[in-house]
Chains A and B, each alone.
Chain A
Amino acid sequence: MKRHAALLLALLVFFAQTGIARAQQSSESRPGAATETLIRNATVLTVSHGTLRNTDILIRNGKIAAIGQNLRASPSARIIDATDKYVMPGIIDCHSHSMIDAVNEGTLSVTSMVRIRDVLNPTDVDLYRELAGGVTTLNVLHGSANAIGGQNMVVKIKYGRPIEEFIFPGAPPGIKFALGENPKRSNFPALPGQPRRYPATRMGVEETIRDAFTRARNYKAEWDEYRARLARGEKNLIPPRRDLQLEPLVEILEGKRLVHAHCYRADEILMLIRLADEFGFKVRTFQHVLEGYKVASEIARHGAGASTFADFWGYKIEAYDGIPYNAAIMVRHGVNVSVNSDSDERARRLNIEAAKMMKYGGLTEDEALKLITLNPAWQLGIDDRVGSIDVGKDADLAIWNGHPLSVYSRVEMTLIDGEVFFDRQQDLARRAELERERAQLEQAEPNRPPAQGPAPAVPRPRRTAYEYADDIWDGGDYDQ
């Protein structure tokens, strides 16, 4: 009996161990995830410590393990010859509405309870197109219809993987705020028979946010008191009723949730700074912030970042004072500045957007590159993981056939956590096969025009490069 028990135990231990081994193996069997990758002989734009010529990057377990010359890798390592090529950190887009099936919960002006996490669609093909532009990380934001919008989600573009693998591990949670024309709905006439939504002025936008934080303060006090009494050992206490709208706002007050505030005019930027100072929280980023250059010192003093367009302007009244020198002026005033896309189209060429900032205001190459790498990483609280090429950071990299700040350059390869998610040569090699597949699908019975009944959908209208709205999505419809 005892011997049997011992045998059973041994067997259990054995299975348990092989089980663990199997689990480890499965996590390591992905190409590039655990095996080593060596990028050889590249020009490395580290962003944090200058440009290194003829340099190798060794990637191990998805992290940058070494940077230097003549690095050695294990015999099984994948070797990428990057002679005459440029490697930069994967681009971080600090304002995206890619991969979401809904942008705005536009029925209330405070919707802090809704989550972008719930509407992420990992099969959005624009994600692949963004990878092909060297983008690896997105700040996926709720739209700007509401003074306090929904909760954001920071993702890595692991296109082709289940949604769980997109979630950026450890990225601090955030939330969208919005000021000006969009939350007051001035460009969106009310539907017939429906009253206009409050607020309708910039005064009302301020009051809406003030009211929400006043309620959040009360709510926090109720919980603080409850927890204090619990700690004192009081019995038979009834906890306060949970409020899913106010909980995220309490997290803001406690410094646990980052505020990304859509704004344009200088007056509304100052409004939010004063309100945040009064309630004792920080705005992490002002988004768009087209008139940030008029109040750059105030933004710097508050400690907020600014995430703006390079030169997109004039598409509505509050964008009419937008100037392409905005980023440079704010940089020179000590603001942490990023350049974002707010567009699946523009996201594919953020390198060009960054390069423009050398012309408009005279940023250096490194300063321009920071606008799309290290600075947005700080703005999202993930600069310990991504944004520069440093040992220990995630191997999120874009390999270019020329300097990425040149309009003539294009991406050859994009890696995330050391894995290749875009490879131009592979893409080109697969085109004939996809062409055949498309032809076959067109011939397939379900795709033939029906003899009767409703006809197939009419093709969608064209998707233009310049869409005159912020927080646009999927074909250029305004946020609602």
Chain B
Amino acid sequence: MIMKKLAANPIKLSVIVLAFAAAIGAQQLNRVVVERVKTGPQGLYAIKNARIVTVAGPVIERGTVVIRDGKIEAVGANVSIPAGAQEIDASGLTVYPGMIDAGTSLGLVEVPTGAPGTVDLSEIGDMNPNAQAIIAINPHSAHVGVTRFNGVTTVATLPRGGIIAGQAAIINLDGTTQWEMALVPAAALVIDFPRVGGGGRAEFAFMQAQQRQPDLTEAIRARDQQVERLRKLLRDAEAYARAQEAYARDNRNVPRPDRNVVLEALVPYVRGERPVIFRADREQEIRAVIRFAEEMKLKPIILGGNDAWKVASLLHEKNIPVILDGVLDLPMREDDPYDLLFENAAKLQKAGVRFCISTGDTGAHVRDLPYHAGMAAAFGLPKDEALKAVTLYPAQILGIADRVGSIEPGKIANLVVADGDLLEPRTNIRYLFINGKQIPLVSRHTELYDQFKDRP
């Protein structure tokens, strides 16, 4: 009640938030509030004299991007600047679409070790379709500012753990609440597809070493049982949906089915209306996911895909996309070529498989996204494809390409103005727009830098 009243008066609210932050001595909270105050309004902006990498079409060597009310209004070499626009001279700079990481858990984990109170990643139990990331995303996480500082403007946040981990949200990295950030609050179901020898790691390495070597036949049986449980739950959800429909059509003769929040959460997924993200790395896991998704008529996205290059022709044939989050992982097998995972993206691209590149990180290192793509480019992926792998392709795979992922009129103005190649580590971001608002380039890290850089 009090909060509602206060919300109507943002100045009062921010004063109270500031006082609260000061009271608990949390400098970080304090800083975030200050940062919000500086964020520009949605308005009319013109970025002129810029090199524009639209990603959707050819590079515009010198042109203008016009932003109005949060959207890209115009882009081109001969765009006239509307009266009243706030002009940004981007001579010598390049405009890119904001980068998108389709496989993070940003906002669900602040400090993974030693601070369990900040971890909201995995629910108890194996089947949690009703665990929604959007509920627990912390919009004031330090990771938000640190990540967008490097030009990443949109992420998919995935819950993890169990078999059905929950539902992923897609957020833009600006907003005072997670609902303001949300691009798609419930974007995809996340399934850690059962695998042989998967799950149940011992807490201590030496305890794990002492564990009995799992029997392969036993491990296969356990995997099959898990897949069967998953299949049954999805079938139940189909039946539940039919029962609800039947009742809606004829509530006189059809008995009213009990509502079930677990099954209800699964309905849009078993009907193929929204995608299911399956964690699968090894060849046999990927093949198993393809078979399973076909059998259950799901709309699958592979997450991980370390062996995807071995399944490339099938993935291409079935038009199943892959979110590669292992570009910088060590190869899985001792005799794998040293560059096996560096090259994975290039091989998928050549085979015509839809793919994108992700850090797979829970938050703190999502800012490294451009270097994952850059490494793939060092090992055979064409540079323009590497850029698409962190902009347009993740947007397409997540089903949000009508709104983000490239610089085209009508899309959300998520734009990055850089002083060099976006994927190069030495490049600086000079201007940043999210939802057409100019975002100040400050973060927890720049604040600490400013605080200590000149300490004698």
Which residue numbers of A lie inside 8 Å of B, CB to CB?
A: 125-126, 128-129, 132, 181, 186-188, 191, 293-294, 296-297, 311-318, 320-321, 323-325, 329, 332, 344-345, 348-349, 352, 355-356, 358-359, 361, 405-410, 427, 431, 434, 438, 449, 454-466, 468-469, 477-478, 480
The 8 listed contacts between A and B (C-beta, < 8 Å) are: A181-B114, A316-B113, A352-B375, A455-B219, A461-B198, A462-B326, A462-B332, A469-B113
Residues in B whose Cβ lies below 8 Å from that of A468: 112-113
Interface contact B113-A296, CB-CB below 8 Å? no
Interface contact B205-A352, CB-CB below 8 Å? no
Q: Choose one: B112, B219, B339, B452; the contact of A329 (CB below 8 Å).
A: B452
Residues in A whose Cβ lies below 8 Å from that of B364: 313-315
Q: Choose one: A129, A186, A296, A457; the contact of B330 (CB below 8 Å).
A: A129
Considering the complex, give the chain B residue whose CB is closest to the CB of A431: B337
Considering the complex, give the chain B residue whose CB is closest to the CB of A191: B204
Least CB distance from B150 to A in Å reads 9
Q: How large is the interface on B (under 10, 10 to 19, 20 to 34, 35 or more residues)?
A: 35 or more
Q: Choose one: A323, A459, A464; the contact of B326 (CB below 8 Å).
A: A464
The verdict on B428 contacting chain A, using a C-beta distance below 8 Å, is: yes
Chain B positions 125 through 154: 1 when the CB is less than 8 Å from some CB of chain A, otherwise 0? 000000000000000001100000000000
Chain B positions 319 through 332: 1 when the CB is less than 8 Å from some CB of chain A, otherwise 0? 00000001111111
Least CB distance from A232 to B in Å reads 51
Considering the complex, give the chain B residue whose CB is closest to the CB of A463: B330
Interface contact A408-B332, CB-CB below 8 Å? no
Interface contact B216-A323, CB-CB below 8 Å? no
User: Which 8 A-B pairs rank lowest in CB-CB distance, beginning with the nearest?
Assistant: A455-B216, A407-B374, A458-B197, A477-B205, A314-B364, A465-B328, A355-B425, A316-B113
Interface contact A458-B219, CB-CB below 8 Å? yes
The A-contacting residues of B in range 352-410, CB under 8 angstroms, are 359-361, 363-365, 367-368, 370-371, 374-375, 377-379, 383
Interface contact A296-B455, CB-CB below 8 Å? yes
Residues in B whose Cβ lies below 8 Å from that of A455: 215-219
Least CB distance from B149 to A in Å reads 10
Considering the complex, give the chain B residue whose CB is closest to the CB of A266: B452
Residues in B whose Cβ lies below 8 Å from that of A321: 448
Tell whether A186 pairs with B378 under 8 Å between CB atoms, given A125-B334, A323-B445, A454-B213. Answer: no
Interface contact A316-B111, CB-CB below 8 Å? yes
Considering the complex, give the chain B residue whose CB is closest to the CB of A316: B113
The verdict on B10 contacting chain A, using a C-beta distance below 8 Å, is: no
Q: Choose one: A314, A356, A361; the contact of B142 (CB below 8 Å).
A: A314
Tell whether A297 pairs with B455 under 8 Å between CB atoms, given A317-B111, A478-B205. Answer: yes
Considering the complex, give the chain B residue whose CB is closest to the CB of A462: B281
The verdict on B97 contacting chain A, using a C-beta distance below 8 Å, is: no
Interface contact B329-A449, CB-CB below 8 Å? no
Residues in B whose Cβ lies below 8 Å from that of A132: 338-339
Residues in A whose Cβ lies below 8 Å from that of B205: 477-478, 480
Tell whether A408 pairs with B213 under 8 Å between CB atoms, given A314-B142, A359-B426. Answer: no
The verdict on B306 contacting chain A, using a C-beta distance below 8 Å, is: yes
A409 to B281 Cα, complex, angstroms: 27
Interface contact B448-A323, CB-CB below 8 Å? yes
Residues in B whose Cβ lies below 8 Å from that of A126: 330
The verdict on B89 contacting chain A, using a C-beta distance below 8 Å, is: no
Interface contact B453-A459, CB-CB below 8 Å? no
Q: In the complex, which of the residues A132, A325, A427 has the most CB atoms of chain B within 10 Å of its own CB atom?
A: A325
The verdict on B77 contacting chain A, using a C-beta distance below 8 Å, is: no
Least CB distance from A411 to B in Å reads 10
Interface contact A410-B445, CB-CB below 8 Å? no
A323 to B448 Cα, complex, angstroms: 7
Tell whether A320 pairs with B111 under 8 Å between CB atoms, given A458-B196, A480-B206. Answer: yes
Tell whether A409 pairs with B378 under 8 Å between CB atoms, given A296-B455, A459-B282. Answer: yes
Which residue numbers of B lie inside 8 Å of A, CB to CB?
A: 110-115, 142-143, 196-198, 201, 204-206, 208, 213-219, 281-282, 304, 306, 326-335, 337-339, 359-361, 363-365, 367-368, 370-371, 374-375, 377-379, 383, 423-428, 444-445, 448-449, 452-453, 455-456
Residues in B whose Cβ lies below 8 Å from that of A316: 111-115
Considering the complex, give the chain A residue whose CB is closest to the CB of B142: A314
Least CB distance from A264 to B in Å reads 11
Tell whether A480 pairs with B425 under 8 Å between CB atoms, given A315-B112, A407-B375, A408-B374. Answer: no
Q: Is the interface of B mostly helix, strand, loop or mixed?
A: loop
Residues in B whose Cβ lies below 8 Å from that of A431: 337
Interface contact A410-B456, CB-CB below 8 Å? no
Interface contact B378-A427, CB-CB below 8 Å? no
Q: Choose one: B113, B213, B333, B370; the contact of A315 (CB below 8 Å).
A: B113
Least CB distance from B446 to A in Å reads 8
A431 to B340 Cα, complex, angstroms: 11
Residues in B whose Cβ lies below 8 Å from that of A344: 330
Interface contact A406-B215, CB-CB below 8 Å? no
Residues in A whose Cβ lies below 8 Å from that of B219: 455, 458
Interface contact B445-A294, CB-CB below 8 Å? no
A315 to B214 Cα, complex, angstroms: 31
Least CB distance from A1 to B in Å reads 65
Interface contact B426-A464, CB-CB below 8 Å? no
Interface contact A186-B114, CB-CB below 8 Å? yes
A181 to B364 Cα, complex, angstroms: 20
A478 to B202 Cα, complex, angstroms: 12
Q: Choose one: B213, B331, B377; the contact of A457 (CB below 8 Å).
A: B213
Least CB distance from B140 to A in Å reads 14
Tell whether A408 pairs with B329 under 8 Å between CB atoms, given A355-B425, A427-B338, A454-B213. Answer: no
Interface contact B339-A463, CB-CB below 8 Å? no
Given contact pairs A313-B364, A455-B217, A468-B113, enumerate 15 new A-B contacts (beta carbons under 8 Å): A129-B330, A188-B204, A294-B452, A296-B452, A296-B455, A311-B365, A311-B367, A315-B113, A316-B113, A325-B445, A332-B453, A348-B338, A408-B377, A409-B378, A458-B216
Considering the complex, give the chain B residue whose CB is closest to the CB of A363: B426
Interface contact A410-B378, CB-CB below 8 Å? yes
Q: In the complex, which of the residues A317, A407, A427 has the most CB atoms of chain B within 10 Å of its own CB atom?
A: A407
Interface contact A449-B335, CB-CB below 8 Å? no
Tell whether A464 pairs with B360 under 8 Å between CB atoms, given A294-B452, A316-B112. Answer: yes
Least CB distance from B375 to A in Å reads 7
Residues in B whose Cβ lies below 8 Å from that of A427: 337-338
Interface contact B428-A359, CB-CB below 8 Å? yes
Interface contact A407-B378, CB-CB below 8 Å? yes
Q: In the complex, which of the residues A132, A318, A431, A463 has the most CB atoms of chain B within 10 Å of its own CB atom?
A: A463
Least CB distance from A157 to B in Å reads 13
Interface contact A407-B112, CB-CB below 8 Å? no
Interface contact B326-A359, CB-CB below 8 Å? no
Residues in A whose Cβ lies below 8 Å from that of B367: 311
Interface contact A407-B214, CB-CB below 8 Å? no
Q: Choose one: B282, B361, B374; the contact of A466 (CB below 8 Å).
A: B361
Residues in B whose Cβ lies below 8 Å from that of A407: 370-371, 374-375, 377-378, 423-425
Q: Choose one: B206, B281, B339, B424; the contact of A355 (CB below 8 Å).
A: B424
Least CB distance from B205 to A in Å reads 4
Considering the complex, give the chain B residue whose CB is closest to the CB of A434: B335
A320 to B111 Cα, complex, angstroms: 7
Interface contact A460-B332, CB-CB below 8 Å? yes
Interface contact A356-B378, CB-CB below 8 Å? no
Interface contact A410-B379, CB-CB below 8 Å? yes
Tell whether A359 pairs with B425 under 8 Å between CB atoms, given A410-B379, A468-B112. Answer: yes
Considering the complex, give the chain B residue whose CB is closest to the CB of A123: B334
Interface contact B329-A345, CB-CB below 8 Å? yes
A325 to B379 Cα, complex, angstroms: 29
Interface contact B424-A406, CB-CB below 8 Å? yes
A411 to B221 Cα, complex, angstroms: 45
Least CB distance from A423 to B in Å reads 12
Residues in B whose Cβ lies below 8 Å from that of A293: 448-449, 452-453
Considering the complex, give the chain A residue whose CB is closest to the CB of B115: A317
Q: In the complex, which of the residues B110, B281, B326, B452 has the most CB atoms of chain A within 10 Å of its own CB atom?
A: B452
A43 to B78 Cα, complex, angstroms: 41
Residues in A whose Cβ lies below 8 Å from that of B378: 407-410
Residues in B whose Cβ lies below 8 Å from that of A352: 371, 374-375, 425
